[in-house]
Structure 1
Amino acid sequence: MKKRLAKSDFMMAYMIIITLACTIGGFFFGAFYMKTEIESAQAAALEAEQREAEKEQMLKEHKLYNEQDFVRFHYAVLAPVRELQNAHFGTIDMWADLDAKGQEEALKELEKAAKETLKLLEKDVLLPTSPLLVQAHSNFTEGVRTYLARMEQVRTAQNSNALSVQEVASHFASPGENWAKAQEELYLSLANWEASYVTRQAIPQEAPETVTIAQWKQYPFHYRTYLSAVSMTREGQWTAFYPEDLATRIDNLLASSDAATIGVQDISGAVRLLYATDAIQPGDFTHLRKKIHPELKAPEIPIYN
Structure 2
Amino acid sequence: MLVFAVGAFFYGVKIGSDKTEARLVENTKHLSGNKSGIAAAYQQQDLVSFYHTVFLPYREFQNEWFTVIHKLSANQLNDGSSALKELSSTAKQNYDDAEHAVVPKSSPLLESAQLQLLKSLKMFSEAAQRGAGSAKDMKAADLVKALVKDAYYLQAVKFAMGGQQDYYTAMLKWSASVNPNIPDNYEASAELSIQQWKSLPLTLKNKILADQLNARKSLMPFYPQDLTSRVDQFILSGQANAMKMKTVDAIVDLLVSTEAVRSGDFGDSKAQLYPKELLPQLPFFYPEKE
| CA–CA distance in structure 2, aligned partners of residues 293 and 120 of structure 1 | 33
Q: Identity, % of aligned pairs?
A: 25
2:68 is aligned with 1:68:
no
Matching residue of 2:114: 137
Higher RCO structure, 1 or 2 (CA under 8 Å, sep 6+): 2
Matching residue of 2:219: 238
Q: Residue 124 of structure 1: CA displacement?
A: 4.3
Q: Residue 139 of structure 1: CA displacement?
A: 0.8
Q: 2:84 aligns with which of 67, 82, 107?
A: 107
Structure number with bigger Rg: 1
> Residues 225-251 of structure 1: CA distance to partner in whole angstroms, max 9, x if unpaired?
111111112222111111111111111
Q: Residue 166 of structure 1: CA displacement?
A: 4.2
> Residues 242-264 of structure 1: CA distance to partner in whole angstroms, max 9, x if unpaired?
11111111111111110011111
Q: Structure 2: 5+ residue runs without aligned partners?
A: 1-34
Q: Structure 1: 5+ residue runs without aligned partners?
A: 1-50
2:98 is aligned with 1:98:
no
| CA–CA distance in structure 1, aligned partners of residues 223 and 146 of structure 2 | 23
Matching residue of 1:3: none
| CA–CA distance in structure 1, aligned partners of residues 182 and 147 of structure 2 | 45
| CA–CA distance in structure 2, aligned partners of residues 228 and 187 of structure 1 | 9
Asked if the contact 2:226/2:264 (under 8 Å) is kept, the reply is yes
Partner-residue secondary structure (3-state), 2:49 = helix
Matching residue of 1:211: 192
Asked if the contact 1:88/1:110 (under 8 Å) is kept, the reply is yes
Cα–Cα, structure 1 residues 282 and 124, in superposed 2: closer, same or farther, change >3 Å? Answer: closer
Asked if the contact 1:174/1:237 (under 8 Å) is kept, the reply is no
Question: TM-score, normalization: structure 1?
Answer: 0.74
2:102 is aligned with 1:125:
yes
Cα–Cα, structure 1 residues 230 and 187, in superposed 2: closer, same or farther, change >3 Å? Answer: same
2:257 is aligned with 1:276:
yes
* Letter of the structure 2 residue corresponding to residue 190 of structure 1: M
Question: TM-score, normalization: structure 2?
Answer: 0.78
